[in-house]
């Protein structure tokens, strides 16, 4: 995960244990100073810090952290242009069916890891979700579900200050004047309290509020 952050990729929160790439034949020695997690994987590196390539980093995240973490970092890599067609092909050939499905589902225009995470977690619901939609008098919104349910995810800390809070309220009021309904969630809710987020969205869906 540290290697992913070094590349500027968005990653989900992890525990404090560092993850160490040992190459294919590296040797690990007993030590009590830390709780590091060793990764043995083939490949070479030209990076000054000895980092693996982005496709290899993604594969390590998949093996160590699972499909969800893999997906959000994958979309971040695609958004930043750090995963080209050759890298995607390499990755597809070295992961299982579930990860290949995640690769096909991924996009290169996700504005943040939170957006990737929300879309990933909603996919099983098969909702009519559109992303990065531009609305009259409102501007671009993170998600539009159906005809009029806006979902915004506020991951940046600056959304907490007074000026940004005011701008968000103005956006929501303008959206309401055009017949839209807005649900707004922050990082903590999406990452740590997903059941609440999902219940809120589904409650509006069940009542048909997303439809004209």
pLDDT over threshold 80, residue 91: yes
Q: How high does pLDDT run on average in the chain?
A: 86
What is the model's pLDDT at position 21?
55
Taken as a whole, the chain contains a residue count of 212
CA 95 to chain centre: 19
Q: Using a CB cutoff of 8 Å and minimum separation of 24, what contacts does 120-124 make?
A: 120/68, 120/71, 120/72, 121/68, 121/194, 121/198, 122/198, 122/201
| CA 54/CA 27 separation, integer angstroms | 23
| CA 90/CA 56 separation, integer angstroms | 9
pLDDT over threshold 60, residue 8: yes
6 and 87 assigned to the same domain? yes
Last residue of a domain, one of 105, 127, 143: 105
Q: Is residue 212 part of a domain?
A: no
100 and 8 assigned to the same domain? yes
CATH of the domain at 154: 3.40.960.10
- Among 37-41, 84-88, 101-105, name the one with the lowest average pLDDT: 37-41
14 and 91 assigned to the same domain? yes
Looking at the 3D structure of the chain, how many domains does it have? 2
Helix (H) or strand (E) holding 143: strand 139-145
Helix and strand element counts for the chain (H, E): 9, 6
What is the model's pLDDT at position 48?
47
- Whole-number percent of the chain with pLDDT over 70: 80
Structural domain span for residue 190: 113-206
101 and 193 assigned to the same domain? no
Burial degree of 30 (CB within 10 A; 0-12, 13-18, 19+): exposed
List, for residues 117-158, the tens digit of each pLDDT value: 999 999 999 999 999 999 988 999 999 999 999 999 987 655
130 Cβ contact partners less than 8 Å away, ≥ 6 residues apart: 143, 144, 145
What does residue 80 show for φ and ψ, rounded to 5 degrees?
-85, 0
Q: Which residue has the higher pLDDT, 43 or 51?
A: 51
Residue labelled with tokens 């000895």: 50
pLDDT over threshold 80, residue 36: no
């Amino acid at each position: 995960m540290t290697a992913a952050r070094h590349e500027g990729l968005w990653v989900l929160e992890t525990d404090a244990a560092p993850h160490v790439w040992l190459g294919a034949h590296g040797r690990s020695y007993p030590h009590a100073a830390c709780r590091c997690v060793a990764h043995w994987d083939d490949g070479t590196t030209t990076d000054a810090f000895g980092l693996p390539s982005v496709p290899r980093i993604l594969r390590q995240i998949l093996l160590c952290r699972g499909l969800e973490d893999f997906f959000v970092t994958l979309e971040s890599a695609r958004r930043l242009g750090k995963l080209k067609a050759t890298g995607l092909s390499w990755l597809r050939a070295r992961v299982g069916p579930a990860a290949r499905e995640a690769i096909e589902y991924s996009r290169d225009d996700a504005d943040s890891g939170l957006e990737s995470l929300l879309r990933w977690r909603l996919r099983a619901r098969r909702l009519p979700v559109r992303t990065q939609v531009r609305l009259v008098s409102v501007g671009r919104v993170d998600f539009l579900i159906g005809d009029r349910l806006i979902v915004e995810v506020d991951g940046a800390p600056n959304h907490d200050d007074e000026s940004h809070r005011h701008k968000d309220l103005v956006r929501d009021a303008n959206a309401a004047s055009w017949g839209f309904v807005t649900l707004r969630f922050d990082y903590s809710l999406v990452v740590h309290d997903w059941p609440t987020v999902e219940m809120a969205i589904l409650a509006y869906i069940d009542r048909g509020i997303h439809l004209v």
